[in-house]
């Protein structure tokens, strides 16, 4: 064995390899028999996740169309000077804005400011255009009526916009709720916790139902760090303002309180919501003949009478002319 170092034999190498193998076997058996605590890394992972969710919620990010800080400060100074942010009316406005998807306090300030300033600006514009410049030649009574209509629209314009926004958002939430419940059933049967299920459902529903995904994601974040989990559920019901969401919140609260199976309750709710959606579709389909009656009478029946009676009338006119 010329390639071996001087003083080494093959038996020495074999003994060394056997020793290394025995050491590895002992280490493997020792690690297998050692009782490790699996909760420590799990708790650390949960703490990191909770911290990340807290930072994600509390970090102020500028969204498209969001007002700048300088404009918000100017609006707040005007609103605070006139004491417009006091009373229960402000709480109702804040709740309506949350139902429309505007959750920040800046949205409340902008809404109150628009309600105050928009009629004033509209009145100045109407006076300049209709009375000072005289851009349109109108009778005095017509000019006064147009001015009143424009003033009413400017006064109730923010309320109309907010009402339409709330209705559209609630319709989107209602449409995506059965799919969300189906995904929650799958997550619950897979062994995920409630906050993990909501986070996963929000991630999966994001492209199809962004409004519902946003609400469920925010609820998952609040479940992670709020001292009372029921408070997060109540916030979800308040922000959505839907009876179906309220039923879901009550089911989740009862599940956590009494330990009932979550998947069974969610499956029953999903079936009920799908049946309700089907019943609403059938109701609209049943109303369709009654709704189409008026257009048929107005647009189709006159044309039909012309086609059927028109030739007879023409022949009658020609016959009367021939007699003369």
DSSP per-residue codes, 81-141: HTT-S-SHHHHHHHHHHHHTT--SHHHHHHHHHHHHHHHHHHHHHHIIIIIII--S---HH
Q: Which residues contact 172 (CB under 8 A, 6 or more apart)?
A: 209, 211, 212
Here the tokens at position 159 are 């309320």
pTM, to two decimals: 0.64
Query: Is the separation of the CB atoms in 232 and 222 below 8 Å?
Result: yes
Q: What are the φ and ψ backbone dihedral angles of 191, each rounded to 5 degrees?
A: 95, 10
Percent of the chain predicted with pLDDT > 70: 82
Using one digit for the tens of pLDDT, what is the confidence trace for 280-312? 888 888 888 888 888 888 888 888 888 888 888
- Give the pLDDT of residue 6: 62
pLDDT in tens, 130-180: 887 777 777 788 888 888 888 888 888 888 889 999 999 998 888 888 888
Give φ, ψ of 242 to 5 degrees: -115, 145
Phi and psi angles of residue 202, each rounded to the nearest 5 degrees, phi first = -65, -40
Instruction: Please identify which residue in the block is written with the tokens 């029946």.
Output: 301
pLDDT at 82: 75
Residues of the chain with pLDDT under 70: 1-10, 12-14, 32-47, 49-69, 87, 324
Q: Residue 65: its pLDDT value, please?
A: 47
The answer to whether 110 touches 72, Cβ cutoff 8 Å, is yes
Where residue 65 falls (left for φ over 0; alpha for ψ -120 to 50; beta otherwise) is: left
- Cβ(102)–Cβ(145) under 8 Å? no
């Amino acid at each position: 064995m010329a390639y071996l170092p001087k003083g080494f034999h093959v038996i020495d190498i074999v003994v060394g390899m056997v020793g290394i193998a025995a050491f590895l076997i002992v280490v493997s058996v020792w690690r297998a028999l050692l009782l490790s605590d699996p909760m420590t890394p799990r708790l650390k992972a949960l703490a990191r996740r909770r911290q990340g969710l807290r930072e994600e919620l509390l970090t102020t990010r500028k969204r498209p169309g969001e007002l700048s800080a300088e404009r918000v400060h100017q609006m707040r100074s005007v609103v605070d000077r006139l004491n417009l942010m006091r009373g229960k009316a402000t709480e109702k406005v804040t709740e309506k804005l949350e139902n429309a998807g505007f959750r920040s306090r800046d949205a409340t300030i902008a809404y109150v400011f628009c309600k105050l300033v928009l009629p004033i600006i509209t009145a100045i514009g109407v006076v300049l255009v209709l009375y000072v410049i005289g851009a349109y030649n109108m009778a005095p009574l017509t000019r006064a009526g147009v001015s009143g209509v424009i003033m009413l629209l400017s006064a109730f314009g923010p309320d109309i916009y907010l009402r339409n926004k709330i209705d559209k958002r609630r319709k989107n939430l209602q449409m995506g709720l059965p799919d969300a419940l189906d995904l929650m059933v799958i997550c619950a049967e897979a062994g995920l916790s409630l906050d993990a299920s909501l986070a996963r459902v929000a991630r999966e529903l994001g492209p199809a139902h962004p409004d519902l995904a946003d609400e469920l994601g925010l609820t998952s974040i609040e479940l992670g760090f709020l001292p009372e989990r029921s408070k997060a559920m109540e916030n979800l019901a308040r922000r959505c303002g839907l009876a179906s969401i309220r039923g879901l919140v009550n089911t989740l609260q009862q599940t956590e309180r009494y330990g009932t199976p979550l998947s069974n309750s969610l499956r029953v709710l999903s079936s009920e919501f799908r049946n309700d959606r089907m019943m609403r579709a059938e109701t609209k389909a049943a109303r369709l003949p009654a709704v189409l009656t008026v257009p048929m009478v107005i647009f189709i029946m006159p044309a039909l009478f012309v086609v059927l009676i028109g030739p007879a009338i023409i022949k009658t006119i020609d016959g009367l002319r021939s007699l003369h």
